[in-house]
Amino acid sequence: MASTRILLQTTIPHTADDWHIGRFSLLRDALASMDGVTVTARDREADENGDDRLLPSLADSDYDQLWLLAVDPGNGLTEADCAGITAFARRGGAILSTRDHHDLGSSICNLGGVGAAHFFHSRNVDPDPSRRTRDDVATSSIDWPNYHSGRNGDYQRIDAAQPHPLLQRADGTTLEWFPAHPHEGAVGVPANDEAAHVIATGTSKVTNRPFNLIVALEATAKRGRALAHSSFHHLCDYNWNIAAGCPSFVEEAPGDELEHDPSRLEDIRAYVANAVRWLSRSASATSPPTP
């Protein structure tokens, strides 16, 4: 793989008791361990106008991929931030975007392309009315979407909605396991986007209802490749190693399945490596952006 520069970024300023970039150190290390990959990991840093110091000019940078961890309550990205990220996508930049339950991370709705693949409680609501209902009812402060795939520290079985290189192990078998989370968000195919597909689904351990885990957006003349994840907890230290700890506002008791069987973490690590390679083909697969 050719040299790849990745920006790994949260949508909040550094806050010790929150999901700051330091809580994604295992993901950062997994990315940096790949040959030819350079990673910059940072929290949001506001300038005198309140915009991030990097994102508005991202299209003019030499970054190839943005791995965006939307951990804000809904106000994490400004208009200028979103315009810069959208311009980055239009020049062929690749994006992995992820959020969580309810309206957590809903500032990414304003991103061109991949933003439309994220459904929230009060913004860009799921077009299926039957989905606008609680799944996890144990945590009363969190409303829909909040799919319960398991406890933090446990694993969930994923289902490949279609054969896809993102979901293959090195031996050609299909990935089966992702870290679980008590209340995942909602992603889906944006309206009239024929280049977007659901590639992986999970199943609620409360209602047995299937829900979308990953949407893959192929490159077009107007954007590079992109991925939309239902929860940043797929990639968080706490969900790869419960001993890493979490912010004090996390109410749910953790699980211990991954502690007892850490081998199943190899699937999420394989997915991360696959995602870097798949997204790296974004620019070469994209025609010059349309004005």
Are 213 and 201 in contact, with CB atoms under 8 Å apart? yes
* Beta-carbon contacts of residue 177 (< 8 Å; ≥ 6 apart): 155, 156, 157, 158, 264, 265, 267, 268
Q: What is the mean pLDDT of residues 234-238?
A: 98
CA proximity to 23, closest of 249, 242, 228, 186: 242
pTM assigned to the model = 0.95
Q: How far is residue 82's CA from residue 177's CA, in Å, rounded to a whole number?
A: 32
Q: How far is residue 156's CA from residue 203's CA, in Å, rounded to a whole number?
A: 8
Q: What is the mean pLDDT of residues 54-76?
A: 97
Measured CA distances, 288 to 92, 119, 278 (Å):
8, 29, 19
Q: What is the mean pLDDT of residues 204-227?
A: 97
For residue 41, the SS3 value is: strand
Spatial strand order in the sheet of 159-160: 37-42, 4-10, 65-69, 94-98, 226-229, 210-217, 196-203, 159-160
CATH topology of domain 4-285: Rossmann fold (3.40.50)
For residue 20, the SS3 value is: coil
Q: How far is residue 291's CA from residue 288's CA, in Å, rounded to a whole number?
A: 9
Answer yes or no: is pLDDT of 255 > 60.
Answer: yes
Q: What is the mean pLDDT of residues 253-267?
A: 96
Amino acid at 220: T
Answer yes or no: is pLDDT of 167 > 50.
Answer: yes
Q: What is the mean pLDDT of residues 48-66?
A: 98
Are 73 and 51 in contact, with CB atoms under 8 Å apart? no
Residue 258: which H helix or E strand, with range?
A: helix 257-260
For residue 286, the SS3 value is: coil
CA proximity to 197, closest of 162, 145, 166: 162
pLDDT-derived band at 282, boundaries 50, 70, 90: low
For residue 268, the SS3 value is: helix
Average pLDDT, the chain: 95
pLDDT of residue 1: 57
Q: What is the mean pLDDT of residues 168-190?
A: 97
Q: How far is residue 186's CA from residue 103's CA, in Å, rounded to a whole number?
A: 10
CA proximity to 276, closest of 39, 26, 51, 90: 39
Sequence spans of domains, the chain:
4-285
Q: Which two tokens stand for residue 200?
A: 């992986």
Q: What does the DSSP 8-state code read for residue 191? A: T
pLDDT of residue 243: 97
Q: What is the mean pLDDT of residues 71-96?
A: 97
Residue 260: which H helix or E strand, with range?
A: helix 257-260
Answer yes or no: is pLDDT of 285 > 80.
Answer: no
Answer yes or no: is pLDDT of 162 > 90.
Answer: no
pLDDT of residue 2: 74
198 pairs with which residues across the strands?
215
168 HSE (CA, 13 A, CB side): 9
Q: How far is residue 251's CA from residue 286's CA, in Å, rounded to a whole number?
A: 44
Q: Which two tokens stand for residue 137?
A: 């009812």
pLDDT of residue 225: 98
Q: What does the DSSP 8-state code read for residue 139? A: S
